[in-house]
Every structure is written in C-alpha cells, then in structure tokens.
Amino acid sequence: MTSIVAVSSSLPDTIPIARFQHELGLTDVQLRRYQRFYGLSEVCRAPEAGETELLLRATAKLAELRGQEQRVKYVLQARTMPSPLPYPLTSLAPLQAELGLEHASGFVVSHHACASGLLALDMAGTLLAADPDPDALALVLTGEKTGTGKTQSIPDVTVMGEGTAAFLVSADRTGRDRMLGYAARTHTRFGADFIMGEAAAKDFQDLYGPGLTEVIGAALDEAGCALDELALVLPHNVNRLSWIGVCKALGLPLEKVFLDLVGHTGHCFCADPFINLQRATELGRLRPGDRYLMTSVGLGATFAAMVLEH
C-alpha cells in the first residue's frame, strides 16, 4: 500500500503582494479583490535562490532521509511546467548528486500541471510495489521558481509562491500516512497552455466547482470513505473564495479545509497539499486514525483528489 513515510517543507520569507502589483499587471481594484475576497495578502518568494537550492532547503529538513539514502530507488520531481532547461541540464541531476542519490532512477513528472504532485505520489507507490526490494523508498520533490512574468500568477485567480516540499514514499502499509483512494480527471479541451484565453478561462471557471466536486467524490468512493468521515481537507492554495464555493456545493463545513497558509504562501505549484500536510501535522490538526483529503487542480485541465489515513 502506498504510504508517505515522512514529509518536510520550506517556506521562503513572505512579501506583500502589493509589492508585485506592477509585475502582475493588477489595477488597484484588482489588488483589493485579491486581498479582501481571495485572502491573498502575502506570497513566499526567494529572489536570491535558484530552484535546486529551494528544493534542497526542503530535503534538508527531511530528517528521515539521513542514513537511508541507499534505500531510495526512485527520485521524482513533480512540476507544474516542463523543466525550463534541456536534458541533461535539469535541476534534478545536481540535486541527486548533492543528496547522495545518484544511484537512484530520477525523472520529472509534469503531465497534470499543478496536480502532478498527487500523480507523482501515486506513481512512486506503483514503482515501489513492483520493486523486488520490500524496503525500497522513493523521494518526491515539489515546488518551483516563478521564473518569468507569465508564471508569477494565474490571472484573476492567484499569485504563485516559491515554497517547496519533499517526502519519502514506501509500499509498506505501516507508513505514517496511507493512501486509500486516488482519482484524477483530465479535460483535454483546454489544451496544455498555462495561460488561457478569455473564452477558455470562462469555461474553466464554470467547470472548476463541478470538476473538483466530481473527482473528490470519486476518490472517496475508491477509499470507501464518506465525506463526513474526513477530519481535514488539505487543498491547493489558490484562494479562499474558490473554497467557499466548493464547500457549499459539497455540503462540507469550511472549517474542515486547512486554509491557514493561503494568505501567506500563495499557490506553490505542486507543493501546496504537502506543505499543508507538514504544517497541519505540526499543529496537531491530524490524529492517528484520521482520514483526510488532498486536492489539486492543474490548468490543462486536470482535477485530482486523494484520500489518506494518518
């Protein structure tokens, strides 16, 4: 059974989004909407650090990796966008060298955009289940740089942050967080563009609530779990307003959605659910036996949900 053994995260210093108003092309009215209605007051950014450094900051906090490097057979980097560098000049190779994981098979997963983190977790479990070594582990890395103006925000939705997360995966059911159900749906009519045209953006906005509701139901069904059994929902941190609508459609109390970080991190690409898992665990929001839901939505458009047991 796919399990998360340990998770760590790293959040750079926060910067008020007002400081990025010009770069994001926001009018004063749009900025106030982001702050008052979307709940986006700050965003975590590290202008001085490259992507490899940001990922190393997260893995440096993954104490469970120390001394277990030889057990790691696979390293997966989940990305929203394909690597900005051509092979072999990727951020993954130097990272593996720095971590002493050059012996592991490493590759990038980007097929589901911001939902690729959940896809990578599922893929890691599948690889480990087929591996002849019952003690094998996989390391999954998430989080990216906002390298260009086009990747600093999703217009009228969110601002992107540079938080990162790293987690170890095993196929042993005794892991700390066991996956019970996973569902993903890709609506191919949107193509794979990070920036949508006006008509496509309106279509995506109309699909957002129903698409996320459907995939959450599918993951719950696979897990044999009812919505009211969930102790917590660990979301993608796009904005607070979108979750008010989804909760209303589901009949889910908003207080069950872990929105503590939305206003301080921004949307950290594939890393959001895992950053939230690390923080919620740290705060004691999950107890042994609790079932919880991770969600993410990737432009393109892929909706994903996963049910786990702590």
Of the listed ranges 85-89, 212-216, 292-296, the least confidently predicted one is: 85-89
Picking from 170, 193, 209, the residue at the C-terminal end of a domain is: 170
3-state SS class at 130: helix
Same domain, 146 and 251: no
Beta strand 137-142 with 164-170 is antiparallel
pLDDT attached to residue 139: 98
pLDDT at position 192 is 58
160 lies in the same domain as 37: yes
DSSP 46: -
Q: 81-85, 152-156, 195-199, 247-251: which has the minimum mean pLDDT? A: 195-199
Distance CA 102, CA 94 (A): 9
pLDDT (0 to 100) of residue 38: 92
In the predicted structure, residue 174 carries a pLDDT above the cut 80:
no
Q: How confident is the model at residue 203 (pLDDT cuts 50, 70, 90)?
A: confident
Residues 32 and 144 in one domain: yes
CA geometry: angle 75, 78, 80, nearest 5 deg: 160
151 and 195 assigned to the same domain: no
pLDDT at 48 over 80: yes
User: Residues 195, 112: one domain?
Assistant: no
| 226 and 287 housed in the same domain | yes
pLDDT tens digits, 109-119? 998 999 999 99
**What is the band of 196 on the pLDDT scale with cuts at 50, 70, 90?**
low
- Cβ pair 204, 234 in contact under 8 A: no
Do strands 230-234 and 291-298 pair parallel, antiparallel, or not at all (unpaired)? parallel
pLDDT of residue 126 exceeding 90: yes
Single residue among 112, 136, 170 that ends a domain in this structure: 170
Assess whether 183 and 270 both reside in one domain. Answer: yes
* pLDDT of 172: 86
Q: What pTM was estimated for this model as a whole?
A: 0.94
DSSP 8-class letter at 165: E
**For residue range 140-161, what is the model confidence (pLDDT) as tens digits?**
999 999 977 778 888 888 999 9
CA distances from 112 to 79, 121, 216, 235 (A): 9, 12, 16, 16
| 40 has pLDDT over 90 | yes
Does an H or E element contain 205, and which? helix 198-223
Tokens of 13: 């210093």
33 and 12 part of one domain = yes
- Decide which of 126 and 193 is more confident: 126
- Cβ–Cβ < 8 Å for 8, 59: yes
Task: Give the residue carrying structure tokens 């892929």.
Answer: 302
Same domain, residue pair 184 and 238: yes
Model confidence at 107: pLDDT above 90: yes
Average pLDDT (267-285) is: 97
C-alpha atoms less than 13 angstroms from C-alpha of 218 in its C-beta half-sphere: 14
DSSP state of 75: E
Domain of residue 220, residue span = 177-309
Average pLDDT, the chain: 92
Of the three residues 147, 170, 193, the one that is the final residue of a domain is 170
pLDDT tens profile 224-243: 999 999 999 999 999 999 99
Do both 161 and 192 map to the same domain?
no
Evaluate if residue 199 carries a pLDDT over 90.
no
Q: What is the CATH number of the domain that holds 242?
A: 3.40.47.10
Helices 92-99 and 51-60, axial angle in degrees (round to 10) = 30
What's residue 173's pLDDT?
72
Same domain, 19 and 120: yes
In this prediction, residue 193 has a pLDDT band, given cuts at 50, 70 and 90, of: low
Q: Higher confidence at residue 85 or residue 212?
A: 212
pLDDT above 70 (res 24): yes
So what's the pLDDT on residue 93?
87
Query: Closest by alpha carbon to 262, among 16, 40, 21, 64?
Result: 40
Question: Given this model, what pLDDT does residue 117 score?
Answer: 98
Alpha-carbon gap, residue 208 to 136, rounded angstroms: 37
Q: What does the alpha-carbon distance between residue 184 and residue 214 come to, in Å, rounded to a whole number?
A: 10
Per-residue pLDDT at 189? 74
Instruction: Domain count for the chain, please give it.
Output: 2
- Over 60: is that where the pLDDT of 194 sits? no
Is it the case that residue 191 has pLDDT exceeding 70? no
Please indicate, yes or no, whether residues 17 and 144 belong to a single structural domain of this protein: yes
